[in-house]
């Protein structure tokens, strides 16, 4: 009898342990109907400074608050959503000569591995390595990312329509346009070679 | 009547000077009224926002034209040129 009781207790504790482990792994959807998720870009050339913003962000990230190294997922930006403050500049930027948005409609980052994880008060920061694709050219990049985990905050954000957690990702990194075949070595006096990208996006994981 | 005599009585001098003054004044007033923007012209203006829950900073755009320095420089250039040209029609002293 004692053996059966012990076995039942062990089985029950294993089940609870397994459930709690599963509960920590969540999939966050970065589709944002509120229009808050954004990636800003800055090109600071000697003769002209170009800046703008992209809001066509989507993607799925799987995140385990207990095991940050297990992050995986993809973030996608619609190339056509890149907006500059000048219509002519925007037309040129999205045109065939530069980003060629019609032939390359998305810019993507596919996460592959996480390193140098440092715990923060409400999340952690880490170096995220992944494949970054721009204008059809894919290069491996390692970028610093701050993960802010906001458990139970989806309800507040959706005015109670949905309950769940939020995950905020922030990253600032620089790429070189020549590497991605964007007019290599041309117009450098007006269009900087280096593009600074600032990403600030929030994903939602509704409770099942 | 010689060409020189015709130039003497030309009204162009006054017209050019008034044009120069109007160009410089109107462009400067318009530039100041749209925000004295020191960069290139904008067709929309960024408005910084902060999401209260996630603290994400983002930009909303207001569709509004802001005159940039390229038009101001062009208007001043035309104004100065117009003023300079007016001297070509100067009356000769008797």
A72 close to B (CB below 8 A): no
Percent of chain A at pLDDT > 70 equals 89
C-beta atoms of A148 and B41 within 8 A: no
Q: Minimal Cα distance from A201: which residue of B?
A: B56
**Average pLDDT, rounded, for chain A:** 88
pLDDT digits 0-9 by tens, A18-66: 444 444 789 999 998 888 999 999 999 998 889 999 999 999 999 888 8
Q: Minimal Cα distance from A171: which residue of B?
A: B56
The tokens of A74 are what?
């993809």
Model confidence at A17: pLDDT above 80: no
ipTM of the complex: 0.80
pLDDT digits 0-9 by tens, B80-90: 999 999 888 86
Task: Please state, in angstroms and rounded to a whole number, the distance separating the CA atoms of residues B21 and A36.
Answer: 47
Angle (CA) B92-B93-B94 rounded to 5° is 115
CA distances to A89, A146, A191, B32, B53 from A162, rounded to whole Å, are: 40, 25, 44, 48, 15
Of A40, A89, A166, the CB nearest to B54: A166
- Of the candidates A83, A78, A103, the one whose C-alpha atom is nearest the C-alpha of residue A93 is A83
- Of the candidates A196, A148, A142, A194, the one whose C-alpha atom is nearest the C-alpha of residue A170 is A148
On chain A, the residues whose CB falls within 8 A of the CB of B53 are 150, 153, 156-157, 166
For chain B, give every domain's residue range. 11-88
On chain B, the residues whose CB falls within 8 A of the CB of A37 are 56, 58
pLDDT digits 0-9 by tens, B35-61: 888 888 999 999 999 999 999 999 999
Task: Please state, in angstroms and rounded to a whole number, the distance separating the CA atoms of residues A43 and A45.
Answer: 6
Residues 6+ apart with CB under 8 A from A49: A42, A43, B39
On chain A, the residues whose CB falls within 8 A of the CB of B49 are 36
- Of the candidates A189, A201, A190, the one whose C-alpha atom is nearest the C-alpha of residue A53 is A201
pLDDT digits 0-9 by tens, A153-178: 999 888 888 899 999 999 999 999 99
On chain A, the residues whose CB falls within 8 A of the CB of B58 are 35-38, 53, 55, 200
- CA torsion sign for B23, B26, B27, B28 is positive
- Of the candidates A207, A199, A129, the one whose C-alpha atom is nearest the C-alpha of residue A168 is A199
Say if residues A41 and A81 touch (Cβ distance below 8 Å). Answer: no
The predicted pLDDT at position A15 comes to 41
């Amino acid at each position: 009898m004692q053996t059966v009781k012990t076995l039942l207790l062990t089985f029950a504790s294993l089940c609870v342990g397994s459930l709690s482990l599963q509960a920590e792994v969540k999939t966050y959807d970065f589709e944002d109907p509120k229009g808050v998720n954004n990636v800003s870009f800055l090109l600071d050339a000697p003769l002209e400074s170009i800046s703008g913003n992209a809001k066509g962000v989507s993607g799925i990230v799987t995140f385990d608050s207990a095991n940050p190294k297990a992050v995986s997922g993809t973030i996608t930006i619609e190339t056509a959503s890149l907006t500059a403050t000048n219509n002519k500049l925007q037309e040129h930027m999205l045109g065939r000569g530069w980003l060629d948005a019609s032939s390359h409609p998305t810019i993507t980052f596919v996460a592959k591995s996480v390193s140098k994880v440092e715990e923060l008060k409400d999340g952690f920061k880490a170096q995220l390595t992944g494949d970054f694709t721009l204008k059809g050219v894919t290069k491996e990049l390692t970028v610093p990312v701050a993960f802010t985990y906001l458990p139970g905050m989806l309800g507040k954000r959706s005015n109670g329509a949905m309950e769940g957690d939020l995950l905020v990702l922030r990253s600032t990194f620089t790429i070189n346009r020549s590497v991605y075949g964007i007019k290599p070595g041309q117009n450098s006096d007006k269009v900087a070679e280096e593009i600074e990208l600032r990403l600030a996006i929030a994903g939602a994981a509704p409770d099942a | 009547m010689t060409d020189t005599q015709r130039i003497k009585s030309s009204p162009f001098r006054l017209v050019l000077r008034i044009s120069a003054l109007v160009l410089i004044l109107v462009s400067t007033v318009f530039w100041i009224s749209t925000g004295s923007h020191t960069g290139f012209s904008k067709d929309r203006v960024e408005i910084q926002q902060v999401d209260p829950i996630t603290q994400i900073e983002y930009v909303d755009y207001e569709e509004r034209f802001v005159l940039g320095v390229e038009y101001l420089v062009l208007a001043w250039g035309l104004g100065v040129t117009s003023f300079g040209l007016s001297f070509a029609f100067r009356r000769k002293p008797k």
